[in-house]
Homo-oligomer: A and B are copies of this chain.
C-alpha cells in the first residue's frame, strides 16, 4: 500500500509546516486545516459518547442520555445557541430472540430482530423453512410456496468502496419481510446485509406497508447463514425450525435533535447545515454509525470557530432517530422551513478516510469548487463523477429548499463488516483515517463559511 493512503502526504505536510516553501503556485495552507491535522476532538467525542452513554436507540432513555451528553459537550466546546428540539416518534424495542433448527439436527442460529418486526409471542413459533436464493426469487414466488412457511432469503453482498452494493443486496432486509407477509409467510429470516463472516447478526429497520400485519422478521449472522445453507444443500429436504421474537411497540415516544452553531458575521448569508445522527442501533455503541460522524463534523466546525468569525453561519445538527425513519431530519426540515439555508452536508458512513468528493453547486460557484478540489487533492481525494446528494438527515431540508450539497465520500470497504452489529465499537476506529476526515471537513467548511456567493444550484445570482 502506498505511503499516503490516509496520511497527509509528505508534500502536504511540507506545505502546512512551511507555507512559504517552494515555488508552487498553490495558496499556502495555513489556518484551521493545519490544526485539524492533529485533531483529537473527533476521537474524543466518539470515545466519550460511546463509553459514557453507550447505545442510543431512538425513542429510548438511552437516546435522551445521548442528547443530554451532546448538549453539555457542544456547550463546553464553545458553540453558540446550543439547544434541543424534541419531537415524538413511534418506538419499537427488541425482546427475546432465538432461532433453532430442530430437525434433522439441532442448530442454533445467531439472530437479531429487524426494526418493526412482529412478535411470535412468548411461545415459540414452529414451522418449515423455505429457502430463496435472492430477494427477487421471493418476489417471483407463488403465494403457495410461501404461505404458512418461515422464509429464508440468501444473497451474496460483497464489499464496495462506495457502499453501492448495500442498496441492491439490502433489499432482502428492507423489503423482504413485507413481501413475505403479503404472501402469507409465518415469519422470515434474512442473511445479514453485511460483508464479513462473523457471528454477529446485522440489525436494521424493515418496513411493512400500511395494512400489512408485521410478521416476525430477523437477520441471521453470516456465519450461521453459511452453516444453514450448507445444511440445506446436504439434506435437500424441508428444515424444521423454532423461532422466538418478542419485540414490542412502545407507541409514540420522545426523540429530539441537538443543534448548535458557529455564528457568522454576515447574517444576510443563509447558513450551511452540517449533520450527523446521534441515535444508534442497540446492539453496540454505534461508534461508526454514527458517533464518529458527529465527532468529525463537530471537530471541523470547532477549528473554524476557533480561527475567528467566518462570514457565514455553520449550523450543526446532531439528528435524532435516523435509523428508524429519519424522524430527526424530517422534523428539522419542518421546524426550520422558514429559515433559508444555503448548503447541506452530512457525515454518516463510518470513520474511514474520505476518498472522493462530489458536488451539487451552481455554475457560478465553479471557482469555489475548483479551490476545494485542489485542496482536497493533497489529501488523496479526487473529484467524483456523480452529483452530491447528501445524507439521510439532510435529505428533507435539501429537497424542501433546493440546497447546494457537497459529499465527502468515505471509504466503505469495511463499513458493512461493522454496521448495525455488535462490532460497532470504538475498538475498530482508525485514528489516522478519522483525522483525515476532520482535515477534509475543515477545508470544506473554511471555504464555504467564508464564501459570500450563491450556493443553491437553482437560484440565479
Contacts and interface: CB of A to CB of B under 8 A. Distances in A.
A197 to B, nearest CB: 5
Contacts of A24: 131-134, 137, 141
User: Interface size for chain A: under 10, 10 to 19, 20 to 34, or 35 or more residues?
Assistant: 35 or more
Most chain B CB inside 10 Å of its own CB: which residue of A11, A157, A229 = A11
Interface string A167-196: 111000000000000000000000000111
A233 interface: yes
Interface string A156-173: 111111101101110000
A308 interface: no
B229 A26 contact: no
Interface stretch (A2-10, A111-119, A262-270, A329-337): A2-10
Contacts of A233: 10, 14, 21
A230 interface: yes
A378 interface: yes
Contacts of A195: 1-2
A156 B379 contact: yes
Contact of A380 (B15, B140, B156, B230): B156
A63 B140 CA distance: 51
Interface of A: 1-5, 9-12, 14-15, 18, 21-26, 130-134, 136-138, 140-142, 145, 154-162, 164-165, 167-169, 194-197, 222, 226, 229-230, 232-233, 236, 355-356, 374, 377-386, 413, 417
7 contacts: A1-B159, A10-B229, A24-B134, A134-B374, A155-B377, A158-B382, A167-B382
